[in-house]
Structure 1
C-alpha cells in the first residue's frame, strides 16, 4: 500500500506514519558533516526520520558548529554516537609544501570502525516496523557500508560533496581529455592529481571496488539553476543511473537572532555598516596559512581601505576539541590601527548569517563547495583563492562559467607567495570597481533564481520531491 502524501504549508509532500527511515553517514570533516546535517533537516521536513551517525567527537562537532537551525531540538532527527579507537591527532602544518589537510587522514581511517555499528543501526530500524532503510553516505565512507549491501530492504545512495562541474571535468580528464562540445572551458584546468596528496588517493582507491556493489543512485548539493549543463553531462555519462541535484542544503532565508545572549557579537558591528560594504575573509576549516602568508594578507587588507571581517583560525585537527590551537600573530598594533574598519574573528564564525547580512558585499574564499553554495545562495560574489582538492576547479566554475567572482591567485602560481599588492588589488576590484559591481549584480540575480527554484513548483523542490517519492515507493527493484 502506498504512503499517504499530503501537502505541507511549504509546498513539500509529507509522509504520514513513515515506513521509511534514512541513515546519514558523513565523512568526519567539517564541510561534509555540515552538508549532510542540513540535508537531514530537509528530509525530516517530509516527516521521515533521519538517523545521523558517526564518532562521538564528530557528532559533537557537527551539532556545535551548525548554523541556521537547532539540530538538538529538530523533530525526527536522531544522533547515534559511537566510540572509535584513538587516532593520531596531529596539528596542521602551516608550512607544508601542499595545503591538503593531511592531519585529518588518521581520523578518516578511523571511520572503518563504524562498519559494524552502522550495519547494526540499519538492522535495528528494519526491525522497528520500517519496511525500508535508506542510507545516504559520503563518497569517502563507502567502506563503512559494505555489509549493508547484504541486508534486504536497505538501499544506499552516494552523496557527492563536490560540484557536478568537478565531477564531469574529472571524468573528462580520466578519458584522456577528448575534444567535445562544452569542454573548451577545461583547457587550463588543473590536474586532479596535483590538487591533493597521494595518501587521500590511496584512501579513495581502497573504497572504489565496493562502490558498484552498494550504490543505487547519486545526490548532489547543487542546483540545475547553477549547474544544469554539467549535471546533464554527468547524467549522460552514467547512462540513466539515478541522479538528483537537491541543493542548496543550507537555509536560504536566514534570519538574524535578535536575542543578544545568543547572537554573535560580530553582528553588533555589521549592523552599522553600509550595504555591500564589507568583504568577508575565510578559508574554511582545512586551510592553515604560514606566518608570512598571514602577514601579507593583513597588509593587503589594510592597504585596500575596504571594511572586512577576517576569520583567522588554524585548520581543524581530526578531533577539534583536543589539544591547543595555534594563534596566528598579526603585525604589531594591527587591530588597533584598523579598529572600526576591520574585525578579526578567532573563534567559530556564523558564516551563513554573515553572508546573508546586507552589509556583506564580497567573500574571499578557498572555494570549498560548501562555501561556494552558501555564497551563491546569499548572492555574494567571490574572490577565489583555492588551496587544494576540488577547490581549484570550483574556482573556475565561479570565475569562468558563472562569472560571479575573480581569482586572487591562479592555481598555476600556487607555489608563489601571494603578496599584499595582489591581495589589495583583488579586494579593491571586487568591492570598489565597476567590474566588481557587475559580479555582485550577477551573484544577486543567481541567488534570486536559486531561491525561486526551491519554492513551490520550483526546479529544486521538484527534484527533492522526486527523490523522496523514489525512496518511499512501494516496491524494491528485484535482485
Structure 2
C-alpha cells in the first residue's frame, strides 16, 4: 500500500511519438501510479486515442493517471493530418518535421507548469526530447530520461565514445569493443548512426542527446538486473549510481484484453488468433515480426517469405512494408503464397497482438529485427530467437541475445540499413540464410529454450514486490521524495 506521503508526488511524463518509445513510456506511467505517484502524461489527440486506451482499466481502478492533451499543428510543419507518430508517416523524410512538431509543445507544457500551484516533482522524458531538459532546468525539476535501450547497449556506446576504436578501421573490418565483460566483436558498418560514418549529418544531434543525457538526474532502463548484471553494475558506476532498471515493462499487463490493446488496435481478432494458435502443437510455430516502424524492401521480404515456406513448419508472419505494402501484397497474391501456405501459415497485416502471440505455448521461435522491446517481450515469454538486426543499436542487441545470453541464432546480417535508406540496401539476407537460421533454432533449441525459460522466470520475479525492478522503482520514488523535501526546506 502506497503511503500518504508518496501520494503527494507528481510526475510529468513526456513520451516520444514512436511506438517503440511511446509504449514503454506509457508502461512507466502505469508503474509509477501503482507505486502511489500522481502521473500526468503529455499527449496529442491521435496518440491519446491510440496509446491511452490501454490505461483505461488502470484509471478506472483508481490509479492517479491523467492525460494532458495538447494540440498538434500538422500544417505548420508540413505533416499530413493525423500523423503524430513515426509509424504514421508516409515515409521517413517527414521525421524531422515530426520532431519539430513535438518541440513546439514545449511552450504549451511550460505554460501548464506555470499555472500549477505546485510544480511537478519529477519529469520523465524520452532522451530524444531535448526540450524537456530545458524545461526541467527552467523550473529546477529533476528529470529522469528514458531511451528504451538496455545496459549492455549503453555500455557499448559509452566505450565506443571513449575509445574511438571504430575510427581506425574500415567499414567491413572487425574490431573488439574495449572495456566490456565479454569479448564483443563488431564491424563499423554495424554501428548506429552516432558512430557510423555514413550518417555524419546526425552527429550534431547525437552530441546534443549525449550532453542532455549527461545533464539528466538519472536514467530509467527497460531491463532487469539479473538479465545483464555485470553491464547494469558498470552502467550504474558510469552514471554515478543514478540508473534504475525497472523492467520488463511489458509485464505490467496481465490480462489478455490489455495485451491485445497495448500499442494499437490489433489487425486480427483476438479469438481468431488464439484459435489458430490453439490448433498447433506446443513449440511448433515460428513467429516473424520486424517491428512497428519496419520499412523492409518488398524484394527482401520475398526472401523471408520463401524461407518461411521452405521450412515446412507452422508460422505467423506480420506483413508490414510501410508505403510499399502494395508491392509485397501484389507478390503474395500473384505468386499464390498465402494460398499455398494456408494450412500452416497465418499472415497478419498491420499491428499484431505480440504479447498475446509470444505467450502462447505453440510459439517455438521468434524471428525478430532485434528492437529491444521485442527482444525483452520474447525473453519474458521464454522464447528463443532468430535475430535479424537492421538499424540503430539492433546489432548490439543481437550480440547480447546470441553471444551473451545464448538464446538466439543470427541470420548473418552484416550492415546497418539506416531508416529512410532502405532502397539503397537491396536484398541483404537470402532465403537460404533465413531458412538455415530458422531450422537451427527450431531443431536444436533445447538448450536455448531452457535458458530463455530461466530468464523468463527471473524477469517475473524482478517485477514482483521485493524483486530487483520493483525495488529500483521504489528507491527512485524515495530519491525524488527526498529531493522534494530538500527543495521545500530551502
Q: Shorter-chain TM-score category? A: 0.7 to 0.9
The answer to whether residue 44 in structure 2 is matched with residue 55 in structure 1 is: yes
Q: Which runs of 5+ in 2 are unaligned?
A: 84-90, 166-176, 261-267, 418-424
3-state SS of 1:276 partner? coil
3-state SS of 2:485 partner? coil
The answer to whether residue 25 in structure 2 is matched with residue 27 in structure 1 is: no
Query: Partners in 2 of 1:124 and 1:382 — Cα distance?
Result: 49
The answer to whether residue 278 in structure 2 is matched with residue 271 in structure 1 is: yes
Following superposition, the deviation at residue 89 of structure 1 comes to: 4.5
Residue pair 1:114, 1:144 contacting (<8 A) in 2 also:
no
**Equivalent residue number for residue 179 of structure 2:** 180
For normalisation by structure 2, the TM-score amounts to: 0.82
Query: Partners in 1 of 2:456 and 2:252 — Cα distance?
Result: 9
**Equivalent residue number for residue 309 of structure 1:** 316
For normalisation by structure 1, the TM-score amounts to: 0.84
3-state SS of 1:311 partner? strand
Following superposition, the deviation at residue 325 of structure 1 comes to: 6.5
Query: Partners in 2 of 1:14 and 1:328 — Cα distance?
Result: 55
The answer to whether residue 340 in structure 2 is matched with residue 340 in structure 1 is: no
Q: Residues 217-272 of structure 1, C-alpha deviation per residue, up to 9 Å, x if partnerless?
A: 1111111011111111112223x24111111111267443499x973521121122
Query: Partners in 1 of 2:385 and 2:109 — Cα distance?
Result: 38
Following superposition, the deviation at residue 70 of structure 1 comes to: 4.4
| Superposition map of 1:81-96 within 5 A | 81-86=69-74, 87-89=77-79
Cα 1:449–1:328 shift into 2, 3 Å:
same
Root-mean-square deviation (CA, aligned residues, Å) is 3.1
| Superposition map of 1:24-423 within 5 A | 24-63=13-52, 70=57, 73=60, 75-86=63-74, 87-89=77-79, 101=92, 103-125=94-116, 127=117, 130=118, 132-152=120-140, 154-176=141-163, 177=165, 179-180=178-179, 182=181, 184-186=183-185, 190-192=190-192, 193-194=195-196, 197-213=199-215, 215-238=216-239, 240-251=240-251, 254-257=254-257, 263-315=270-322, 326=326, 328-329=328-329, 330=332, 332-412=335-415, 415=425, 417-423=428-434
Query: Partners in 1 of 2:432 and 2:300 — Cα distance?
Result: 12
The number of aligned residues is: 443
Residue pair 1:85, 1:110 contacting (<8 A) in 2 also:
yes
Following superposition, the deviation at residue 381 of structure 1 comes to: 1.1
Q: Which runs of 5+ in 1 are unaligned?
A: 1-7, 93-99, 318-323
3-state SS of 2:256 partner? coil
**Equivalent residue number for residue 467 of structure 2:** 458
Residue pair 1:158, 1:219 contacting (<8 A) in 2 also:
yes
Higher relative contact order at CA 8 Å, sep ≥6: structure 1 or structure 2? 1
Cα 1:212–1:463 shift into 2, 3 Å:
closer
Structure in which a larger fraction of residues adopt helix: 2
Cα 1:386–1:212 shift into 2, 3 Å:
closer
